[in-house]
Amino acid sequence: MVLAPTEPASAVLPSCGGATYVNWGWERPATGGIPTTQLGDGNTNCTMTVGLTSYGVYFLQVALRQCYGQSIAADAQFGYNTREALRNAQRIHRIPDDGVYGPQTRDTINWASSVGCNSFDA
């Protein structure tokens, strides 16, 4: 009997269609953003890949630019340059460098804020 391969967990998550502002505690409110399923809903269990356009993509691009020095546009469009920039960040953190954003990437990469870069659980 041959078993079919299972889909990765991120494949069954909804797309990150929005973002929510995060207060990291030691800075003024609304200074950093994290991708969410809808604008401001707080559900960060979502996925992003090539072809998506959203506020979530914008905040990911800002983080990749500010925290990882990636030369990409912050235009809210997840294209091939964003995918390669994300793969670079994933390699830095030694997580699977598939260029797909999901919960493991969310929890691992640093996010831009007014006072620097923070991890999601800061």
CA angle in degrees (0–180, nearest 5) for 24-28-33: 55
Average pLDDT over residues 13-38: 76
Q: Which two tokens stand for residue 74?
A: 């912050």
pLDDT of residue 5: 39
Judged by DSSP in three states, 76 sits in: coil
The reported pTM is 0.84
Neighbours of 90 (CB within 10 A): 20
Q: Which two tokens stand for residue 48?
A: 């992003």
Cα 48 from Cα 97, distance rounded (Å): 14
pLDDT interval class at 112 (50, 70, 90): confident
Q: Is pLDDT of 93 > 50? A: yes
Point out the least confidently predicted range of 14-28, 39-53, 81-95. Answer: 14-28
Average pLDDT over residues 89-107: 96
Neighbours of 16 (CB within 10 A): 29
Q: Is pLDDT of 118 > 70? A: yes
Greater pLDDT, 106 or 112 = 106
Alpha-carbon separation of residue 116 from 7, 20, 21, 31, 50 (angstroms): 35, 18, 15, 10, 27
pLDDT of residue 29: 45
What letter represents residue 98's amino acid?
A: D
Average pLDDT over residues 62-76: 95
- The phi and psi torsions of 57 (rounded to 5 degrees) equal -60, -40
